[in-house]
Amino acid sequence: MTDKKQGKIFDIVGRVVDLLEDMDKETQIHVLKTVNMWLKINEYMTFHDQTMPEKHGISIFPESTPKAKGAKFSDREVMSPKEFLLQKEPQTDKERVACLAYYLSHYRETPHFRTLDISTVNTEAAQPKFTNSAQAVKNATNAGLLATVSRGKKQLSVIGEQFVQALPDREEALSFLKRKRKRRAKKNLKQKTKEKRKRIDG
Q: What is the pTM of this model?
A: 0.58
Note the pLDDT of residue 196: 65
Note the pLDDT of residue 48: 45
Task: Check: CB of residue 76 under 8 Å from CB of residue 106.
Answer: yes
Which positions ≥6 away from 195 have C-beta within 8 Å?
none
Note the pLDDT of residue 73: 45
Note the pLDDT of residue 54: 41
Q: Is 63 part of any domain?
A: no
Distance CA 188, CA 103 (A): 32
Q: Is 136 part of any domain?
A: yes
- What b/e string do you get for 117-130 counting C-beta neighbours within 10 Å, with b at 16 or more? bbbbbbeebebeeb
Q: Is 47 part of any domain?
A: no
- The secondary structure of residue 125, as a DSSP letter, is T
- The secondary structure of residue 50, as a DSSP letter, is T
Note the pLDDT of residue 141: 95
Q: Is 30 part of any domain?
A: no
Looking up residue 95, the CATH number of its domain turns out to be: 1.10.10
Distance CA 101, CA 121 (A): 9
Task: Check: CB of residue 107 under 8 Å from CB of residue 67.
Answer: no
Domain extent for 111: 76-202
Local confidence pLDDT in tens for the 202 residues of the chain: 565 666 677 678 777 877 777 777 777 777 787 777 777 676 555 444 444 444 444 443 333 333 333 334 444 567 999 999 999 999 999 999 999 999 999 999 999 999 999 999 999 999 999 999 999 999 999 999 999 998 889 999 999 999 999 999 999 999 888 876 666 655 555 566 666 666 766 6
Note the pLDDT of residue 178: 84
* Residue 155, beta-bridge partner list: 147
Q: Is 195 part of any domain?
A: yes
DSSP string, 43-56: GT--TT-TTHHHHH
Note the pLDDT of residue 40: 67
Note the pLDDT of residue 11: 72
Q: Is 183 part of any domain?
A: yes
Domain count, the chain: 1
Q: Is 139 part of any domain?
A: yes
Note the pLDDT of residue 100: 98
Note the pLDDT of residue 3: 59
Q: Which helix (H) or strand (E) holds 174?
A: helix 170-201
Q: Is 31 part of any domain?
A: no
